[in-house]
Amino acid sequence: MEIKHKALKLLILAAIMMVGISSFASAMGISIGYWKENPLTLSPGESKEVLVNLQSEKDATVQASLVSGSEVARFIDASTQYLIPAMNRDTNAHLLVQVPEDAVVGSEYTVTVAIETTDAGNGGIALGSALQMSFPVQVIEKPAAEQAAPTSNSLWVLIGAVVVIALLWALIVRMRKK
């Protein structure tokens, strides 16, 4: 009977410790608007700013870095260390992706972004949490030049021609009625 009582005490103590320790854990998230099935497509020499959304359940300070893709991407913020307020989804890192002028159409680059906690926030234990997210950058042909829109002069000439034709038609219809 005493063994069962000790086992029950141990079980209760372990449960209390698990609940206590779990309060120190923090969930982080990272999201980018591009992924394997939705790649970033750029032409040679073209560039685009990509937002890397950083999220955390608790206050956290993270260090962002590029694991791969530095030949086409770089952070453009003054610092790559970010303070993520608790439950805030508006913290963004800014990444500039620029395809070289001599890039081969059809080639693909992989950009991998990593974030790693640098402190524990509000008194928690820093467990060295880290996340990575990758997205492809596909090199495509430059889009064909769009057809030039008519100039304002040619637009006025067109409107004038339509008005003259409408007046002539109205005049002919009126003369036939007489």
Query: Is the torsion defined by CA of 36, 40, 42, 46 positive or negative?
Result: negative
Q: What is the pLDDT of residues 38-74, one digit of tens each?
A: 999 999 999 999 999 998 888 989 999 999 999 999 9
In angstroms, the CA 74 to CA 66 distance is 8
Which distant-in-sequence residues (6+ apart) come within 8 Å of 125 by Cβ?
24
Q: What is the reported pTM?
A: 0.63
* Alpha carbons 35 and 138: distance in angstroms, whole number: 11
* pLDDT tens across the length of the chain (178 residues): 567 667 566 666 555 655 444 444 557 888 999 999 999 999 999 999 999 999 888 898 999 999 999 999 999 999 999 999 988 878 999 999 999 999 999 999 999 999 998 864 445 445 567 889 999 999 999 887 644 555 667 788 888 889 999 888 888 888 887 6
| Complete domains list, the chain, with CATH | 27-139 (2.60.40.10)
